[in-house]
Amino acid sequence: MPQRLKEIGEKAKAAEPQLRTLGAAQKDRALLKAADMLVSHTQELLKANAADLEQASANGMKPALLDRLRLNPERIGQMAQGLSQIAQMADPIGEVLHMGKRPNGLLIGQQRVPLGVIGIIYESRPNVTADAFGLCFKAGNAVILKGGSDAIHSNIAIAKALRAALAECEVTPDAIQLIEDTDRAATEELMRMNDYVDVLIPRGGAGLIRSVVENSKIPVIETGTGNCHIYVDEYADISMAVDIIFNAKTQRIGVCNACESLVVHEKIKDALLPVLQKKLSEKQVELRGDAAVCGVIAGVKPATEEDWGTEYLDYILSIKTVSSLEEAIAHINRYNTGHSEAIITQNYEHAQRFLNEIDAAAVYVNASTRFTDGYEFGFGAEIGISTQKLHARGPMGLRALTSTKYIIYGNGQIRP
Amino acid sequence: MPQRLKEIGEKAKAAEPQLRTLGAAQKDRALLKAADMLVSHTQELLKANAADLEQASANGMKPALLDRLRLNPERIGQMAQGLSQIAQMADPIGEVLHMGKRPNGLLIGQQRVPLGVIGIIYESRPNVTADAFGLCFKAGNAVILKGGSDAIHSNIAIAKALRAALAECEVTPDAIQLIEDTDRAATEELMRMNDYVDVLIPRGGAGLIRSVVENSKIPVIETGTGNCHIYVDEYADISMAVDIIFNAKTQRIGVCNACESLVVHEKIKDALLPVLQKKLSEKQVELRGDAAVCGVIAGVKPATEEDWGTEYLDYILSIKTVSSLEEAIAHINRYNTGHSEAIITQNYEHAQRFLNEIDAAAVYVNASTRFTDGYEFGFGAEIGISTQKLHARGPMGLRALTSTKYIIYGNGQIRP
């Protein structure tokens, strides 16, 4: 391992004992100071960001990506506000989940503790630097950040401001460390830092996530791709179905909880599809359907096998017809990515069966898949949406960044 | 991937939908039938086990290991009893951990669901075949087992009996599948079956666990090695300390929650060590100490750096002196394996600091580390003791073999 990364790992480990025992008041004071520091460093942040933007432009980065990379006073204010909001959230650390006395008198409790050291690998949005730090820190963890090379100057400036805030509050600045090497080798080394990092969370596109899952020797929490389905049951309210599909498909297209695929019961297709097509045409949504769909409405491209498994993140919707609830559930469980799935139905038994039998982080009856989100679920800010089953599933707030330990109060007990 | 393993993976996936929705009554009936089936197949099991024993003997297996491999009617009865006990345990699946209404009327709950497909890699004890199946099955999972080659005939016979019991109860026999290939290549392939297996749990010695953690592409729950410490504070009750250390060191030496290392405050060493040495000599425990220890009692081997990090699993105890609680905590956090650590003290503040600052799955005040165990903690049978921080930490009962999903009841909600 390169010396520079080894040092980062050792500093993170050295920060753990202080972070493990920091009180909520001190953590919140440091978060508010960090928020202030971002705002008071606006000029430095903008200057660093300008260097990133200039280089990215010169490298031919597309306008949409340039926009994700761009900082302005408003966006810096939003980062600061994000940290202030995290300061308002309840401290998860120290909570005793349950505690009870055993017949031998041992009092055994399970207490929430930090995970330790969290690694975050992300792409070009510099705001992740502040957001990820805030959540990891509030949950008592040290964080090692590896951002995209496009945002390196911005990330360095943000991390510097955050570290200065911690130091002012007598908290070790090593609670946040940024890997400044921008090459791929540094990312690969980070994925092998088992001795220093307890968990890796990749934040970004499907390619990044797959690469981390496949190459990391550290446990990974897999976030995000969402090939989300809505199943319109034969007993659906058509007007509700159209509203929900329109919302889930078009309210924001580039997000993981947007609807990508529709499954329609054959008995309702004739009534639903023409109305739906008209509504979706308001946003020029391209439809790709199976033969039955193409038989009902015109202007639909034939869907291929590949369509069923594709997360478009675009104004495109695939549509599959089925002849039963069972067929719908089997299709969704085969092609989904374990994110968010919905049924539209007025039938009680079908609703319950869908909830029980669909294998996904969030399963909805009669609501838009777009609600799978930390704020919408009531946890506040989130570090991502887990699509795996281990440790955390669904929107991950502060609790997902914690572990537990057993604490046992005895008075001399020995095992017979 | 070899065709045979691919088929096993596909069959496990195909079993998931049925297992996900099996009711507790049907699972318990199948577990009781499986218990009966083991007993009624006693002759077949003993015959298969005799073949394993004969081959192991011919290969020069040591008596202690031969004993672990051996089945007899009593041990078969214990396996059956284990399954019956699992049938008595409450079904974790379906439990709603919390549920509440959001301002927009969405009713959002988090419900416990099976993990899916669990892989278990273990060594020569054939009883793991039945125990692991029982726990995984009760939690609604399919299990793929890869046991040690020494026990292959026994494992095949046990799995066959269990599968027959499931079939009789109209449960898919593919809820349990045994990989019959005994070569290392099969284990390596299993560790790459991401598409089929949700989590791998290695059960066995440190070498096996390390190899799985390093090579698996599937998330792993790390179980077990325990370099457990007892810290005798300057305010300890000496007689309690001696009783607890004697128990934790000698009550059973080959287990992960046995005490391997003692940390002693220098102010109590003169009073403690002679009494302790006398007591431990009843079991001929070899002591390895630092210079201060060697200065107090005779016949102590000087401890090396290696001793502080060694899990002996033997009648050996290392002893380190410290001059403060802080030094004790730092030493333990440096050398422990995150398993079980204890302080012996009558000082309130020291007890609380030790509980807060030690980083381990189980932290004790005034009790033996030997209590870290599913039965002792009140969960019943366990699949192992997790020494990692992700997903499950400490003794893992049925709940550690589950995940959750969000279930959301709406009435037409869309995201504004």
pLDDT over threshold 80, residue B219: yes
- Helix, strand, or coil (residue A237): coil
* pLDDT mean over B334-345: 96
* Chain A residue closest in CA terms to B23: A356
What span, in angstroms and rounded, lies between the C-alpha atoms of B373 and A277?
60
**A100/B413 touch (CB, cutoff 8 Å), yes or no:** no
User: Cβ neighbours of residue B352 under 8 Å, at least 6 residues apart?
Assistant: none
Cβ <8 Å between A355 and B407: yes
Q: B355 vs A407: CB contact, 8 Å cut-off?
A: yes
- State whether B413 and A333 contact (CB < 8 Å): no
What residues of A are in contact with residue B404 (Cβ under 8 Å)?
A: 393-394
In angstroms, what separates the C-alpha of B414 from chain A's closest C-alpha?
Answer: 5
- pLDDT of B224 > 80? The answer is no
Which is it for the CA torsion A304, A309, A313, A319, positive or negative? Answer: positive
Burial classification of residue A356, based on how many CB atoms lie within 10 Å of its CB (0-12 exposed, 13-18 middle, 19 or more buried): middle
Distance CA B326, CA B45 (A): 54
pLDDT of residue B1: 77
Distance from chain centroid for Cα A301: 32
pLDDT band, very low/low/confident/very high, at A110 (cuts 50, 70, 90): very high
pLDDT of residue B380: 84
Band of residue A123 on the pLDDT scale cut at 50, 70, 90: confident
* Model pLDDT, residue B370: 97
Q: What is the pLDDT of residues B140-189, one digit of tens each?
A: 999 999 999 999 999 999 999 999 999 999 999 999 999 999 888 899 99
Q: What is the pLDDT of residue A224?
A: 75
**Which A residues, 231 through 260, put their C-beta within 8 Å of a C-beta on chain B?**
237, 240, 243-244, 246-248, 251
A356, A364, A404 member nearest B410 (Cβ): A364
Distance from CA of B402 to the nearest CA of A (A): 8
Percent of residues, chain B, with pLDDT higher than 90? 88
Rounded CA gap, A300 and B226, in Å? Answer: 62
Residue whose structure tokens are 């067929």: A327
Determine which of A121-125, A286-290, B44-48 has the lowest per-residue pLDDT on average: A121-125
Q: Residue B108: closest CA among chain A residues belongs to which residue?
A: A377
Query: Rounded to whole angstroms, what are the CA distances from A295 to A260, A276, A298, A328?
Result: 21, 15, 7, 20
Over range A356-370, report the average pLDDT: 97
**Distance (Å, whole) CA A106 – CA A185:** 50
Q: Are A152 and A180 in contact (CB under 8 A)?
A: yes
Q: Tell if the CB–CB gap between B102 and A378 is shorter than 8 Å.
A: yes
The mean pLDDT value of chain A amounts to: 95
Say how many C-beta atoms besides its own lie within 10 A of residue B98's C-beta: 8
Check if A158 contacts B (Cβ < 8 Å).
no
Q: Residue range A243-252: average pLDDT?
A: 97
Q: Which residues of A touch B360 (CB under 8 A)?
A: 405
Exposure of A370 in the CB half-sphere (CA atoms within 13 A): 21
pLDDT mean across residues, chain B: 95
What is the pLDDT averaged over residues A202-227?
Answer: 87
Cβ separation of B377 and A243 shorter than 8 Å?
Answer: no
pLDDT in the model for residue A308:
97
pLDDT category, A121, cuts 50, 70, 90? very high
Distances (CA, A) of B91 to A270, B34, B95, B386, B394: 44, 17, 8, 21, 20
Residues B371, A17: C-beta atoms closer than 8 Å: no
Using DSSP, how many helices (H) and how many strands (E) does chain B show? 16, 16
Residues 6+ apart with CB under 8 A from B253: B312, B313, B314, B315
Judged against a pLDDT cut of 90, whether residue A379 lies above it is answered with no
In this prediction, residue B222 carries a pLDDT of 86
* Strand residues in B147-236 grouped as ranges (E): 176-178, 199-203, 228-232
| Integer Cα distance of B252 and A309 in angstroms | 54
- Chain A residue numbers with beta carbons less than 8 Å from the beta carbon of B351 are 409
Residue A136 has pLDDT above 80, yes or no: yes
At residue A124, the pLDDT reads 76
Residue that wins the pLDDT comparison between B243 and A204 = B243
* Contact at CB, B390 and A413, closer than 8 angstroms: no
Of the candidates A220, A244, A356, the beta carbon closest to that of B414 is on A244
Separation between Cα atoms, residue B162 and residue B176, nearest integer Å: 8
Q: CB of A345 within 8 A of CB of A236? A: yes
Token readout for A11 is 């500093």
| Selected residue of B96, B238, B352, B405 to mutate for chain A interface (largest A Cβ count, 10 A) | B405
Is pLDDT of A1 > 90? Answer: no
Give CA separation, A57 vs A123, A165, A184, in Å. Answer: 16, 32, 21
Q: What is the DSSP letter of B220?
A: B
B124 pLDDT above the threshold of 80: no
Surface of A (305-364) touching B: CB under 8 A: 330, 333, 351, 355-357, 359-364
Is the ipTM value over 0.95, yes or no? no
Question: Measured between alpha carbons, how far is residue B221 from residues A154, B125, B386, B387 in Å?
Answer: 37, 20, 7, 8
* 3-class secondary-structure state, position A78: helix
Q: In the predicted model, what is the mean pLDDT of residues A191-203? A: 93
Residue A210 has pLDDT above 90, yes or no: no
Chain A neighbors of B394, CB-CB under 8 A: 110, 404-406
101-120 in chain B: CB under 8 A from chain A: 102, 106, 108, 110, 113, 115-116
When CB atoms are compared, the residue of A246, A406, A414 closest to B244 is A414
Query: Nearest-CA residue of chain A relative to B354?
Result: A407
How close are the terminal C-alpha atoms of chain B, in Å?
47
Across the interface, whether the CB atoms of B389 and A365 are under 8 A apart is answered no
Residue B331 has pLDDT above 80, yes or no: yes
Give the one of A21, A363, A415 whose C-beta lies nearest to B251's C-beta. A415
Per-residue pLDDT, averaged over A203-229, amounts to 88
- Contact call for A20 and B359, based on CB within 8 A: yes
* DSSP 8-state secondary structure symbol assigned to residue B149: G
pLDDT band of B276, cuts 50, 70, 90: very high
Provide the 10 A C-beta neighbour count for residue B29.
17
Q: Given CB atoms, is B177 within the 8 Å cutoff of chain A?
A: no
Contact residues, chain A, for B219 at CB < 8 Å: 219-220, 388, 390
Rounded average pLDDT over B283-288: 98
**Above 90 in pLDDT, residue A225?**
no
Q: Does B13 touch chain A (CB under 8 A)?
A: no
Q: Is the pLDDT of residue B97 over 80?
A: yes
Question: Residue B205: pLDDT band by 50, 70, 90 thresholds?
Answer: confident
Chain-chain contact of A365 with B413 (C-beta, under 8 angstroms): no
pLDDT confidence of B414, banded at 50, 70, 90? Answer: very high
Percentage of residues of chain A with pLDDT beyond 90: 88
CA dihedral in degrees (B400, B406, B409, B410; nearest 10)? 180
Rounded to a whole number, what is the distance in Å from the CA of B36 to chain A's nearest CA? 31
pLDDT at residue number B238: 98
Chain B contact present for A193, CB below 8 A: no
pLDDT band at B204 (very low <50, low <70, confident <90, very high): confident
Query: What pLDDT was estimated at residue B196?
Result: 95
Show the domains of chain B with their CATH numbers.
3-223+392-409 (3.40.605.10), 228-375 (3.40.309.10)
How far does B327 lie from chain A, in Å, by closest CA? 13
> What is the structure's pLDDT at B151?
95
DSSP element (H, E) containing B163: helix B152-168
Q: Which residues does chain B have within 8 Å of residue A198's beta carbon, measured at their own beta carbons?
A: 388-390
**How far is Cα B332 from Cα B330, in angstroms, rounded to an integer?**
6
Query: Considering only residues 34 to 53 of chain A, which have any Cβ-Cβ distance to chain B shorter than 8 Å?
Result: none
Q: Which residues have a Cβ under 8 Å from the Cβ of A308 and sit 6 or more positions away?
A: A261, A318, A320, A331, A335
B413 interface with A at CB cutoff 8 Å: yes
Which residue in chain A is spatially nearest to B238 when comparing CA positions? A412
Looking at residue B140, the DSSP 8-state letter turns out to be T
Assign A87 a pLDDT band (cuts: 50, 70, 90).
very high
Global pTM reads 0.92
Instruction: Give the pLDDT of residue A215.
Output: 87
Query: Tell me: the pLDDT tens digits for A271-330?
Result: 999 999 999 999 999 999 999 999 999 999 999 999 999 999 999 999 999 999 999 999
Chain A: residue whose CA lies nearest to B338? A405
Instruction: Answer yes or no: is pLDDT of A364 > 90.
Output: yes
Q: What is the pLDDT of residue A88?
A: 95
* Residue from B191, B199, B231, B414 whose CB has the most chain A CBs within 10 Å, to mutate: B414
Give A37-72 pLDDT, tens digit per residue. Answer: 999 999 999 999 999 999 999 999 998 889 989 999
How crowded is the C-beta side of A182, counted as CA atoms within 13 Å? Answer: 12
Neighbouring CB atoms inside 10 A of A366's CB total 22
